[in-house]
Structure 1
Amino acid sequence: MKRGRLKRPMRGIPARAIIPNAITVLALCMGLSAVRFALAGQWETALTFIVIAGVLDGFDGRVARLLNGQTRFGAELDSLSDVIAFGVAPSLVVYLWSLETMPRYGWIFALAFAAACALRLARFNASIDEDEQPHKSAGFLTGVPAPTAAGLLMFPIFLWLVTHEPLFRDFYVVAPWAALIAFLMVSNVATFSWSSIRLKRGMRFGALAGIAGMIAAIVTIPWIAFSALAVAYLISIPFSIASYAKVRRQRGPDEPSPDAA
């Protein structure tokens, strides 16, 4: 009696996963390149590289799902890339731009932001607070996402580039701001995700026109546009908290709350 040949388990990364992983690595490289230009005092170029990293981060997951190339390796690589591109790189850029002038404690604020980013991503991967975070089916995120937090951290630099006002570069302004954004990253505050945004049929055309206008603004007046986006996101946080509270009330005391996923 012949024994059937045992199929060897496939090892390595499937070919379909190479493209999304390459995009993730490119985002990581963009973050590190931002530090290189910050060291040379080329602040606009440094910010541009971090923005490019954010755009790439938005594509890698979608490309992976499109190609059916989701892998555990890719998930771990994505988290590592996010820590560097949206945690380490922005904190170093802001430190070199402002916080290094703060006697003794400037580096602590830069470290706090990078550490908060790493903790947030570790919490997301391990789901250690699964019983406390808003239910994904309700369309909410827990805390501010890392790419968004990186953009918010650089908000004073955006304002400085627009106005050339020295106040925005003062560590008395930048240090508390960095601490606030680091806190929002690791907090349990419910924030909107794309899946939580529901547009009425009559508003869709206007929304598309608004997006087109924002893209045009980013191309022509980037730092003003990014400043406006940062302000809009900050304004949305109280509304996301209220919206999440409404979801909990609608589910009633007898139904499992979004926190009990």
Structure 2
Amino acid sequence: MTTPLRRTAARGLPLRAVAPNAVTALALCSGLTGIRFAIAEQWETAVLMVMIASVLDGIDGRIARMVRGESRFGAELDSLSDAISFGVSPALILYLWSLKEVPRFGWLVALVFAVFCALRLARFNAGIDVAEQPHKSAGYLTGAPAPVGAGLAMLPLYLWFWTGLELWRSPLIVGPWVALMAILMVSSVATFSWSSLKLRTNIRFEAIAVVVLLGAALISAPWHTLTFLCAAYLATVPFSIAAYARIKRQRAASGGLPQTPSAPAPEDGAH
């Protein structure tokens, strides 16, 4: 007599996972709303919606760890939200703002940015369970995270907001710039990870002061500050490449053993 097959009941989402997933959903709503404001040509509000999405994306993972609400569902939802908020939304905003002046070239650039963002997220998800990740074990990310890529791609918008120069709206500038930021997202370039930075005890007070100053600057002069932050991030890329190359040489000299302790798993915002 054969024993009937048991069907495993599908488990629902734990109550503790509701809060972080709700924040992720709000980030998705914010990113999509940016498209709505771009259609209405309310450019500053459209960019603000993407910025709000990036803030929400940065805290949903922390909330999940705080309440022990991590789940595979949350990770997948986060990636889908990021693909729309930091891939599709910035691409459409930039297309409607500038790239539609050259429809074929402009749409191609917008497609490349959105697709490359999705490819980055797919690469992240595919390697999330891989034990050997050289960049991650050394405390670095691979390429620019999706929220950072979106923020960098919109740099011409920030410059246009505070200078008023139509030069920054030219598709001849916006198109190549957006394509370059798309390549940076999917590249194998080692970039610094915020979660791996450790401050010395004697400079932690100064770090708090810098954060406060940045917050005040973002409130009083947001577009100037975002321009500065984009320039500062890009300036760190050569240093991160050189620092990781030095670690690779040290590993090769020691037979491939890591020279630095393994970094924690990248946060949701590090996709």
User: What TM-score do you get using the length of structure 1 for normalisation?
Assistant: 0.92
Q: Tell me the equivalent position of 1:127.
A: 127
Structure 2: 5+ residue stretches without partners: 1-5, 263-271
Q: Is 1:75 aligned with 2:75?
A: yes
Q: Tell me the equivalent position of 1:178.
A: 178
Q: Tell me the equivalent position of 1:3.
A: none
| C-alpha distance 249-198 of structure 1, shift in aligned 2 (>3 A) | farther
Q: CA deviation at 1:132?
A: 8.8
Q: Is 1:226 aligned with 2:229?
A: no
Q: CA deviation at 1:12?
A: 0.9
Quick check: 112-121 or 206-215, which moved more?
A: 206-215
Identity, % of aligned positions: 57
Q: Distance in 1 between matches of 2:131 and 2:68?
A: 29
Q: Distance in 2 between matches of 1:211 and 1:223?
A: 17
Quick check: 179-188 or 196-205, which moved more?
A: 196-205
Q: Is 1:195 aligned with 2:195?
A: yes
Q: Describe the SS at the equivalent of 1:135.
A: helix
Q: CA deviation at 1:135?
A: 3.2
Q: CA deviation at 1:194?
A: 1.1
Q: Tell me the equivalent position of 2:255.
A: 255
Q: Is 1:245 aligned with 2:261?
A: no
Q: Distance in 2 between matches of 1:194 and 1:166?
A: 35
Are the equivalent residues in 2 in contact too, given 1:133–1:188 (CA < 8 A)? no
Q: Which amino acid aligns with 1:206?
A: E
Quick check: 96-105 or 144-153, which moved more?
A: 96-105
Q: Which amino acid aligns with 2:90?
A: P
Q: Tell me the equivalent position of 2:113.
A: 113
Q: Tell me the equivalent position of 1:96.
A: 96
Q: Distance in 2 between matches of 1:250 and 1:136?
A: 16
User: What TM-score do you get using the length of structure 2 for normalisation?
Assistant: 0.88
Listed one character per residue, the Cα deviations across residues 60-88 of structure 1 (whole Å, up to 9, x for unaligned) are 11101111111111110000000000000
Q: Which amino acid aligns with 1:81?
A: S
Q: Describe the SS at the equivalent of 1:104.
A: helix
Q: Which amino acid aligns with 1:134?
A: P
Q: CA deviation at 1:134?
A: 3.4
Q: Describe the SS at the equivalent of 1:105.
A: helix
Q: Tell me the equivalent position of 1:148.
A: 148
Listed one character per residue, the Cα deviations across residues 117-160 of structure 1 (whole Å, up to 9, x for unaligned) are 00000000012996995332311000000000000011000000
Q: How many residues align?
A: 253
Q: Tell me the equivalent position of 1:27.
A: 27
Q: Describe the SS at the equivalent of 2:134.
A: coil
Q: Tell me: higher relative CO, structure 1 or 2? Use CA pairs within 8 A at least 6 residues apart.
A: 2
Q: Distance in 1 between matches of 2:63 and 2:130?
A: 27
| C-alpha distance 20-129 of structure 1, shift in aligned 2 (>3 A) | closer
Q: Describe the SS at the equivalent of 1:199.
A: coil
Q: Distance in 2 between matches of 1:129 and 1:56?
A: 25
